[in-house]
Amino acid sequence: MLLTFDTALIAALVFGVIALGTKPLIALLQRIRLLDHPNERSSHHRPTPVGGGLLIVAALVPAWLWLGGDALVPLALAALGLAAISLVDDFRRVPTGLRFAGHVAAVAWVLSLNPALAGWLPDAVPAPVALIGVGLGWVWFINLFNFMDGIDGITGVECLGIGAGVIVLAGLGLVPPGQAGLGLYLAAAAAGFLIWNWHPAKVFMGDVGSVPLGFLIGWLLLEMAAAGAWAPAFILPAYYLADATLTLGRRVLRGEAPWQAHRDHFYQQATKGGRSHAKVSFLILCLNALLIAAAVLVSWVGPWPALVFAAGATGGLLVLFRHPGDAANP
């Protein structure tokens, strides 16, 4: 059976812990004054509690451990370590170099214990080069997940889309069946958080949520690729990959520091152009549904036509966001 009663029950608990526990967490964050105050680069207009990702990590990591057992202990410990560093960063800025070193250390440790995560690359690529390349890509994924958490609902929508996509692919036998539960727990956590983070957001995820999520989802996608589903592993997160990578490339070409706060992402341009956070996040949700369909298409038409379809759909939304025209707030 793909999803057992116990798996569904744990998913309900993950959802419930986050959906019901976030309200008292918001009160605590307000009491200790852990607030994100708006500035000229912000997409919000009032001080908002930040740190809602605490409950996501607290619920999701044990759920994944329950499902994966001892094999996931190193992954869980690394995720908790990243959450600890990121929580400090939410309170008081941690030097960029130290944060980046933590990301590299977490990725290097897990990869050293499971080098098969790089085994999906062509045989012509030497094993050390493959490990370094996959490691750098994973570190980039952690950071892009953090960069992209800039408007209400966007990261919850992305996690929901990836989680749902993994469930569908597992149900069709395109990825190992054990990944269905991991996807379900991810989707349940995202749904619980979206209750509080949908526009207008009552709480932000913070680095304590976005950094460990980028790490965990990056591992899940690498597991998919290692099992043969490398194309779906690129397709499901296509919007985040495209927006973050293209934005970074433009900033580097302009000689701007990549780590500095900005409002250059495509989704940020869309909100500046008149679309609300809710409309932008909803459009990304719709794109994610198309990306799930594209991932399924891999088994029928092969990886490259499916990747082209996914790239076209993603590119179309990026163009729409970049040129919002006369869009009005709903």
User: Distance (Å, rounded) from C-alpha 227 to C-alpha 243?
Assistant: 27
User: Distance (Å, rounded) from C-alpha 40 to C-alpha 263?
Assistant: 9
User: Distance (Å, rounded) from C-alpha 284 to C-alpha 290?
Assistant: 10
**Which run of H or E residues covers position 26?**
helix 5-31
Q: Indicate whether 146 pLDDT > 80.
A: yes
Listed by start position, the domains of the chain span: 5-322
Lowest mean pLDDT among 45-49, 72-76, 175-179, 221-225: 45-49
User: Distance (Å, rounded) from C-alpha 183 to C-alpha 207?
Assistant: 21
Side-chain-facing half-sphere of 163: CA atoms under 13 Å:
23
Per-residue model confidence as pLDDT tens digits over 76-88: 999 999 999 999 9
**What is this structure's pTM?**
0.95
The CA–CA distances, whole Å, from 316 to 78, 159, 290, 310 equal 36, 21, 12, 10
Tally of CB atoms within 10 A around 65? 17
Side-chain-facing half-sphere of 174: CA atoms under 13 Å:
25
CA-wise closest residue to 243 among 131, 134, 133, 155: 155
Per-residue model confidence as pLDDT tens digits over 205-264: 999 999 999 999 999 999 999 999 999 999 999 999 999 999 999 888 888 876 677 778
How large is the average pLDDT for residues 57-86? 97
User: Distance (Å, rounded) from C-alpha 80 to C-alpha 208?
Assistant: 9
How large is the average pLDDT for residues 161-188? 97
The tokens for 81 are 């370590």
DSSP helix/strand/coil, 35: strand
CA-wise closest residue to 166 among 156, 175, 157, 158: 175
How large is the average pLDDT for residues 127-137? 96
Per-residue model confidence as pLDDT tens digits over 87-106: 999 988 899 899 999 999 99
The tokens for 244 are 């973050």
| Centroid of chain to Cα 20 | 22
Q: Indicate whether 329 pLDDT > 50.
A: no
The CA–CA distances, whole Å, from 56 to 19, 28, 209, 317 equal 10, 16, 7, 28
CA-wise closest residue to 240 among 144, 140, 138, 143: 144
